[in-house]
Amino acid sequence: MDEWDLLLLVIITLLPLISVYLWFRISKFPVGLVWFLLALLGGAAALLVAVLIQSLFPKFGGNFTEGFFFNLFIKIALTEELGRFMVLLLLFRLRSCFYRSMPTESPPLSQGLVTGLLTGLGFAAVETASYGPANLGIALFRVFTTAPLHGACGARNGAAAILCTRHPLRASLRFFSAVIIHGMYNFMVIRTGFYSVFAVLIALTALASSIQEIRSIPITPFRLE
């Protein structure tokens, strides 16, 4: 890969992040730049956590167990969402060290959704960059499918991290909805022909619902020192 291919890879990888940043600025979302970058860094950390958890799983034989349910829904979807949830939970548990002022005892749902969205996009950016050197076409495909998926699932995990103490049932529903959406996407994306269209629809629909929820509730400021 020459320097121009590398530059193109960087641009492709950053497209979702740039789009969301411009959306925040145009909509005047009160999200500080430091928190924005911290959430993206959390996404990279979540990928590392997921890889470490995946390395602990034994290998199972059998086409159904290994190819469908175990790999797609457990080893990939569950571990990646669990890694994301753990990092988001840590971010909010340590919020008292970062907030200039803590407006409430617990951050509101809006902060969980936005932070989770950013964490998911950070996760996707690192993952896309790792695939890009082998095939720029795959990187471009992932920008329009996998990045929306991770952003949508990240938003659900962010909400789960906020709700887990006060509303554990609602938090569980948010978390497992992310796992199911992620698993169904995985299943559809490995199918050929018409079935792969459903993967795109799953990713974009999930992202659209997350964006709609973010836009429907007031965004409480969360800036850092």
Give domain status of residue 154, yes or no.
yes
Closest by Cα among 30, 151, 24 to 81: 151
Give domain status of residue 224, yes or no.
no
CA distance 116 to 171: 13
The CA–CA distances, whole Å, from 69 to 157, 159, 190 equal 21, 26, 13
Give domain status of residue 54, yes or no.
yes
What tokens appear for 32 in the block? 């500080």
Angle at 180 between CA 198 and CA 151, to 5 degrees: 75
Residues with Cβ within 8 Å of residue 83, at least 6 apart in sequence:
46, 47, 48, 49, 50, 53
Mean pLDDT of the 196-220 span: 87
φ/ψ region of 28 (left if φ > 0, alpha if ψ in -120 to 50, else beta) reads left
CA distance 214 to 145: 20
What tokens appear for 61 in the block? 């034989």
pLDDT digits 0-9 by tens, 99-134: 554 454 456 888 899 999 999 999 999 988 887 666
Q: What pLDDT is attached to residue 190?
A: 80
What tokens appear for 196 in the block? 């792969």
Closest by Cα among 117, 127, 116 to 86: 116
Q: What pLDDT is attached to residue 192?
A: 59
Query: Is the model's pLDDT at 223 over the cut of 70?
Result: no
Give domain status of residue 222, yes or no.
no
pLDDT digits 0-9 by tens, 50-92: 999 998 887 654 454 455 678 889 999 999 999 999 999 999 8
- Whole-number mean pLDDT of the chain? 84
Q: What pLDDT is attached to residue 65?
A: 47
Which position has the higher pLDDT, 171 or 194? Answer: 171
Residues with Cβ within 8 Å of residue 225, at least 6 apart in sequence:
98, 99, 100
Specify the number of domains making up the chain: 1
How many other C-beta atoms can be found within 10 angstroms of the C-beta atom of residue 169?
9
pLDDT digits 0-9 by tens, 2-61: 676 677 778 888 889 999 999 988 888 878 888 899 999 999 999 999 999 998 887 654
Give domain status of residue 160, yes or no.
yes
Give domain status of residue 194, yes or no.
yes
The domain of 192 spans 3-216
Query: Is the model's pLDDT at 216 over the cut of 70?
Result: yes
Give domain status of residue 223, yes or no.
no
What pTM was computed for the model? Answer: 0.88
CA distance 13 to 15: 6
Q: What pLDDT is attached to residue 20?
A: 92
